[in-house]
Structure 1
Amino acid sequence: MLFALLCKDKPGHLNVRIETRPTHLAYLDKLNAEGKLSMAGPFLDDEGKACGSLVLVKAETAQEAKALADADPYAMAGLFESVDIKPFNWVFNKPEA
């Protein structure tokens, strides 16, 4: 099952995002290699700066998706103000597996 991780950055924490980005990308690479990552990318503010993240993960349960979200280096660094986890049904333009 797919879960969307909707992550909102804390205001004034762009430096945390920039400093943590290499370990965050390594974490996403690991999830991708394990077949748990469908897609990921940042939300952008009006100035084009990252202000959050959208990550689609494959997990058996919402609890597993939460564990994946909690293990993200961005989350561990305290970047996120909030993380909403929603079951997701990818209908249009879904890449073939």
Structure 2
Amino acid sequence: MPLFAIICHDKPGMLEARINAREAHLGFLRNEGIVRLAGPLIEEGEMRGSLIVLEADDLESARKWADQDPYKAAGLFASVDVIEWKKVIG
């Protein structure tokens, strides 16, 4: 099954919204067992985005999954890119 990278950048000034939605977001990541790695993007010592790598049947499935993220529902993201990713090392 192919891997997809989901790269999310937060809107400025949204750290509190990120913290408030964090537990729901982490539960979502764990729910279906398709996430292979995930973590926040850090800028100037603060969480300012997310990187998620997951397995999905195709790009459309990965996009649909990303659209369900509680962070997105909280209005956190300025942008979300979903692209196929190939693991080479690790």
Is the TM-score greater than 0.5?
yes
Tell me the secondary structure at the aligned position of residue 89 of structure 2. coil
Task: Specify the alignment match of 2:25 in structure 1.
Answer: 24
Q: Which amino acid aligns with 2:89?
A: F
TM-score by length of structure 1 reads: 0.89
Taking the aligned partners of 1:37 and 1:3, their CA distance within structure 2 comes to 10
Deviation at 1:31, TM superposition (A): 2.8
Pairwise CA RMSD: 0.7
The answer to whether residue 9 in structure 2 is matched with residue 11 in structure 1 is no
- Between Structure 1 and Structure 2, which shows a larger proportion of strand residues? 2
Task: Specify the alignment match of 2:57 in structure 1.
Answer: 60
Unaligned runs of 5+ in 2: none
TM-score by length of structure 2 reads: 0.95
Q: Which amino acid aligns with 1:38?
A: R
Tell me the secondary structure at the aligned position of residue 56 of structure 1. strand
Among all aligned residue pairs of Structure 1 and Structure 2, give the percentage whose two residues are the same amino acid: 42
Taking the aligned partners of 1:31 and 1:89, their CA distance within structure 2 comes to 21
Q: Structure 1 runs of 4+ off > 3 angstroms?
A: none
